[in-house]
Copies of this chain bind each other. A is one copy, B any other.
Amino acid sequence: MGSSPVGGVFFTPIVSGAKMEKKLVKDIPKKRENISKWYISVIRKADLVDYAPVKGMMVIKPSGYAIWENIQKILDSKFKETGHQNAYFPLLIPESFLNKEAEHVEGFSPEVAWVTIGGSEELEERLAIRPTSESIICAMYSKWIMSWRDLPVLINQWANVLRWEKVTKPFLRTSEFLWQEGHTAHKDKKEAIEETLKIINIYKDFIENYLAIPVIMGQKSDKEKFAGADITYSVEALMPDGKALQAGTSHYLGDNFSKAFNIRFEDKDNKLKFVHQTSWGVSTRLIGGLVLTHGDDSGLIIPPEVAQFQTIIIPITRGDWKETILPMARDINKKLMNSGIRSYIDEREEYTPGWKFSEWEMRGVPLRIEIGPKDIEKKQVVLVSRVDREKRFVPVEKLEEETKKFLKDIQNQLFQKAKKFADENTHYTEDMKTFKEYMKEGRGFIKAPWCGDEKCEMKIKEETTATIRTVGDKAESGNKCIVCGKEAEYIPYFAKSY
């Protein structure tokens, strides 16, 4: 019933038959016309997510969670390869801990959900559900770190966090979300900065090469940096509506937290010193970025590297297909799985092949494999790309290598397409009027010289809604601030942000 075993992978579409009738592609708003409606429509029809009965919270359904599992698997191995270990810290943080670092509490306390009753008793001190875990982790590090021998501490946590948001959108901004948060402690600034940069580069590499989303990478302005950090590095991706999505951040915390929490170590010279710290994270927001970047009017397109199913096999149900086509389809599915490809076969009888084509396009499986009577004769299969419906006829004996090649091509194609869009929508101007025109038409990244003064940054935000996404390169001599006309310090990337 619904669930069918296929070479070790089972799959139950959690969509009712009744609902599927309404799930026709023509019901999706056009992406170009209303990307916001398109987004909500697609993530729900493709079964990634549902709204929870608590405001601002989401249920990540199996098809959505499978993407997160692939993200976790890849990133986790990259963290471990670079010396990090996972741990788990408590969900609840006493208010007094959150209050220890002044900027941190100011930044986060308006968004906190508070536990005030535990097991029918009023608590003496209310407990925050972690909006991020610096304060609880630093409290532990101050117990754990004594000597230079204990450093560096390189710990990551996969966890849920909660920020009480007013306006939410599944994956992109929700009150509860899933993420990883790394928290490291180092003997000095140099080593901590190296760590901060190492991680932001891991994020860039991962987002570009696995999620096929091009990003810019750079430092945040003081106004935009993390509450409690000295420096925040960020990777930012340009979405099809010309708005920037902050996709990952890596913070150099200096000794702000180690002073607040008294995390000191005895160095080789016998002196007590404060550690220098970093923290960094990416979240389920990445799934939202992936949907926005690659999807089209037929639904999702999931990059092969993180797709739950990389190939969907659809046997053409005609005549004696169960005796002829089905065995070959199963054989092909098994071959693909044995060669490491995540494949699935849709054997349902209650749906036509055409229906299945639409459904799996909606779900974003990057490669469809059709097997019909002619293909059996010719000992071949037809591979169809989800991106542009390019067809390749592949002899069965070359199945595995050709499928892998096609998947690789699709992965590249998705990245190149997104890169082209980002390049075409990255502008440079020194003129405020032009800046505003860009912001009115298509938006995008706008590079413009800036003096470094927060007042000018604020003025641009007020007049255009654009904020500094990264401060960009140092300005050259002669560059004038687009707002005040004074000598420019940087050429930031401005954009309206998600």
Contacts and interface: CB of A to CB of B under 8 A. Distances in A.
A476 B88 CA distance: 49
Most chain B CB within 10 A, of A12, A129, A147, is at A12
Contact of A61 (B3, B58, B87, B90): B87
Interface string A145-160: 1111111111100011
A117 interface: yes
A112 interface: yes
Contact of A16 (B14, B85, B149): B149
B119 A116 contact: no
Interface in A101-123: 109-120
Given A17-B146, A178-B88, A5 B52 contact: no
A159 B59 CA distance: 13
Most chain B CB within 10 A, of A61, A147, A149, is at A149
Given A10-B82, A91-B162, A149-B1, A97 B66 contact: no
Contacts of A1: 148-149, 151-152, 187
Instruction: Give how many copies assemble into the complex.
Output: 2
Contact of A65 (B2, B64, B86, B151): B86
A80 interface: yes
A395 interface: no
Contacts of A61: 87
Contact of A150 (B17, B64, B93): B17
A12 B154 contact: yes
A64 to B, nearest CB: 8
A144 interface: yes
A353 interface: no
A260 interface: no
A136 B52 contact: yes
A207 B401 CA distance: 40
A110 B118 CA distance: 9
15 contacts: A3-B152, A10-B85, A12-B83, A17-B147, A18-B146, A18-B147, A18-B266, A59-B88, A61-B87, A66-B86, A112-B119, A114-B118, A115-B116, A118-B164, A119-B166
